[in-house]
Amino acid sequence: MQEDSYTLITNTKKHTHALEHLLFEEKKPKMATTSTSTGDIKKTKSVEVKKKLNVLIVDDDTVIRKLHENIIKSIGGISQTAKNGEEAVNIHRDGNASFDLILMDKEMPERDGLSATKKLREMKVTSMIIGVTTLADNEEERKAFMEAGLNHCLAKPLSKAKILPLINNLMDA
């Protein structure tokens, strides 16, 4: 979405007055502006700025990691992967990690998703964590995984249709 806005600048002794023509919308997106100036009239182009979704994909299955990466890429996000929960915890422990979303498998070697989720929450990680598991249909397993600190739990295979409503909700927050 692009819109033009014109600013007329007049100079007085100590003050600069600007008269702006603004386009109002019900829900106006965050805007960045670029300007070109000709004399006293400055033309401003407003460009919508969208934050890129940053996702950590935690799964021991290479095919699933690739599938999830492709889904995130298809919606304009960026991703990093971890092969197990221990790698996910270490990424956060190093202090350089900041993710909007973590897709967490439940059953993995070294540290499973339940244990990794608990540890991440103990470390005060506030990212949305979505459990992705074949056990999502089993109520007891799903409940235990949710109690570990998940925000949501989805059944494999993950699809764009399943995750997009959660991502839209996250990005609108």
For residue 13, is pLDDT > 70? Answer: no
Instruction: Name the token pair of 67.
Output: 């599938």
State the average pLDDT for the chain. Answer: 75
Q: How confident is the model over 101-148, as pLDDT tens digits?
A: 999 999 999 999 999 999 999 999 999 999 998 865 688 888 889 999
Q: Which residue has the higher pLDDT, 97 or 43?
A: 97
> Which residues neighbour 100 within 8 Å (Cβ) at sequence distance 6 or greater?
51, 53, 54, 55, 127, 128, 170, 171
Question: Tokens 């991440």, residue?
Answer: 120
Low-confidence winner among 18-32, 86-100, 126-140 (lowest mean pLDDT): 18-32
Cα distance between residue 150 and residue 103, in whole Å:
10
For residue 97, is pLDDT > 70? Answer: yes
For residue 23, is pLDDT > 60? Answer: no
Cα distance between residue 132 and residue 87, in whole Å:
17
pLDDT at position 46, please? Answer: 39
Q: How confident is the model over 75-92, as pLDDT tens digits?
A: 889 999 999 999 999 999
For residue 58, is pLDDT > 50? Answer: yes
pLDDT at position 136, please? Answer: 59
Low-confidence winner among 17-26, 85-94, 140-149, 160-169 (lowest mean pLDDT): 17-26
